[in-house]
Amino acid sequence: MSELRDATMNAITRIEREEADASTVTFLLDGREITARHTDTLIEIADRAGVQIPRLCYKAGMEAVGNCRSCMVEIKGERVLAASCCRTRSTAWKSHTTSERVLKSQQLVIELAAIRHARARVHAPQTRSMSGR
Ligand code: FES
What pLDDT shows up at residue 16?
66
Distance CA 37, CA 23 (A): 6
What pLDDT shows up at residue 84?
93
Distance 74 CA to ligand 1 centre (A): 14
23-121 fold: Ubiquitin-like (UB roll) (3.10.20)
Pairing mode of beta strands 72-75, 82-83: antiparallel
pLDDT per residue over 2-41, tens digit each?
554 454 556 667 766 666 666 888 888 999 999 888 888 9
Distance 73 CA to ligand 1 centre (A): 11
Contact between residue 94 and residue 75 where contact means Cβ atoms under 8 Å apart: yes
Domain boundaries, the chain: 23-121
The answer on pLDDT for 50 being more than 60 is yes
- Whole-model pTM: value is 0.70
pLDDT per residue over 52-87, tens digit each?
999 999 998 888 899 999 999 999 888 999 999 999
Give 49's contacts (C-beta < 8 A, 6+ positions apart): 29, 32, 34
Mutate to test the pocket of ligand 1, among 44, 68, 80 (most ligand atoms within 8 A of CB): 68
Contact between residue 55 and residue 67 where contact means Cβ atoms under 8 Å apart: no
Contact between residue 70 and residue 97 where contact means Cβ atoms under 8 Å apart: no
